[in-house]
Amino acid sequence: MTRSMMTSPTTEGRPDVPAQVFEKFLHALEGAGVSAEMVARLRKTLLEDKTYTESVLKAAVLGEESLT
């Protein structure tokens, strides 16, 4: 079971399913015409900072509007 997951995109040679989901999600957002700024913010949050709290996601989705 685990072996098959190893064939998918990995980080450090091991399966990283959340990263696969996040990558596809960001790709789909780009295809849906969502602003490039929002996609960049979400990419930083999900894939670089790996922070998933609601407040951080809100800032990524709404940008400055999250402060209003």
Partner 1 sequence: MIRVDSITIKEFRGIRDLTLDFKEKNFAVCGPNGTGKSGVVDALEFALTGSVSRLSGEGSGEISLKQHGPHVDRRNDPDKARVTVKVTIPTLSKTVTVERSLKTPGVAQVMPSDPEVLDALRQVKAHPEIVLSRRELIRYVLAAPGKRADEVRALLHLDQVEQVRRGLQKIANDCEKKLVPLDREVTEAREKLLRAIDLSELTKEKVLVVVNAQRVILGLSAFTDLTETTSLKDGMSTLGLVQPQRIPKVQAIADIRAAREVITEITSDQIATNVAEVTADLSALASDPAVAASVKRETFYTTGMELIEGGACPFCDNSWDLEELKRHVQVKIDHLEEVSRKRTVAEAKITPLIEVLGNMRTAINTLAGFAALATPPVVIDAVREYGTNCGTAVGKLTAFLPLAETITVLTNVRSVPQGVLDAIGDLEKVVAALPEPTKQDAAKEWLTVAQERLEVWRNAVRKQKAAKEQAQRARQVFDIYTATSDTVLAGLYATVEKDFSSLYEESRGTVLRNDCRIQKLQNIFLKEKGRGYQNRSLVTFLR
* Interface with partner 1 (CB under 8 A): 1-8, 12-14, 17-18, 20-22, 24-25, 27-29, 32, 34, 38, 46, 50, 52-54, 57-58, 61-62, 65
Rounded to whole angstroms, the Cα distance separating 65 from 59 reads 8
Count of CA atoms in the C-beta half-sphere (13 A) of 19? 13
**CB 44 → partner 1: shortest distance, Å?**
14
Tracing tokens 């980080």 back to the chain, one arrives at 11
Which CB atom, from 3 or from 48, has the smaller least distance to partner 1?
3
Tracing tokens 């098959």 back to the chain, one arrives at 4
**CB 28 → partner 1: shortest distance, Å?**
5
